[in-house]
Amino acid sequence: HAVNFGVSDFAFYRQEVCRQLIQINPEKTHNKIYVFAPLKLTKKLFSALIEVRKITFTGGKKMRIGLIAHDKKKDEIIVLAKKHKDVLAKHQLFATGTTGTLIMGETGLPINRMKSGPLGGDQQIGSMVADNGLDLLIFLRDPLTAQPHEPDVSALLRLCDVHNIPL
């Protein structure tokens, strides 16, 4: 899983990762740095990642975080949301339909739900990215299963790159 951070985030992120003794392998691509780290982030590291984005890009205000997961990744995003519920609860959350419903049901977190991904939810999230309505997007993709809305997914990824939204 790749965590996409702007250059300004990388120094802080790397220091925190080194403190956590997680091995990372940075690779520069298109003026961004992609950091490959284990999906099982510690609470301290996850909090640090969210906090650095909040301070750097929102001036310390509540962040607007998008949550999306393909069908075979729904269980993983629920585990992530449960594990980091205390961090996520401090921010405004948005999700595609089914993902949002499942996370709300399992965690009780308030989530602004869009339509289901294949029914336009990915495009709604993309519109938020384009209108500067999101600060961070957590997207657990299933690369092994063909998605009927793959063009929408590709457009969303491209928008995140264009608008420098961590994905």
Tell me the average pLDDT across 75-81: 91
- DSSP code for 135: S
Q: Specify the pLDDT at position 14.
A: 45
Residues 103-134 have pLDDT tens digits of 999 999 999 999 998 888 889 999 999 999 99
Q: How many CA atoms lie within 13 A of 77 on its CB side?
A: 25
Residues 43-54 have pLDDT tens digits of 666 676 676 666
Of the candidates 122, 131, 152, 161, the residue annotated as catalytic is 122
Q: Which residues contact 38 (CB under 8 A, 6 or more apart)?
A: 22
Residue 18 pLDDT more than 60?
A: no
The identity of residue 29, as a single letter, is T
Pairing, β 2-5 against β 32-36: antiparallel
Comparison of pLDDT for 9 and 29, the residue scoring more: 9
How far apart, in whole angstroms, are the C-alpha atoms of residue 121 and residue 112? 12
- Residue 1's pLDDT band, with cuts at 50, 70 and 90, is very low
Residue 144 pLDDT more than 60?
A: yes
Q: Specify the pLDDT at position 53.
A: 65
Tokens 């629920």 found at: 78
What are the backbone dihedrals phi and psi of residue 165, each rounded to the nearest 5 degrees, phi first? -95, 125
pTM (two decimals) = 0.71
How far apart, in whole angstroms, are the C-alpha atoms of residue 99 and residue 68? 6
122 is catalytic: yes
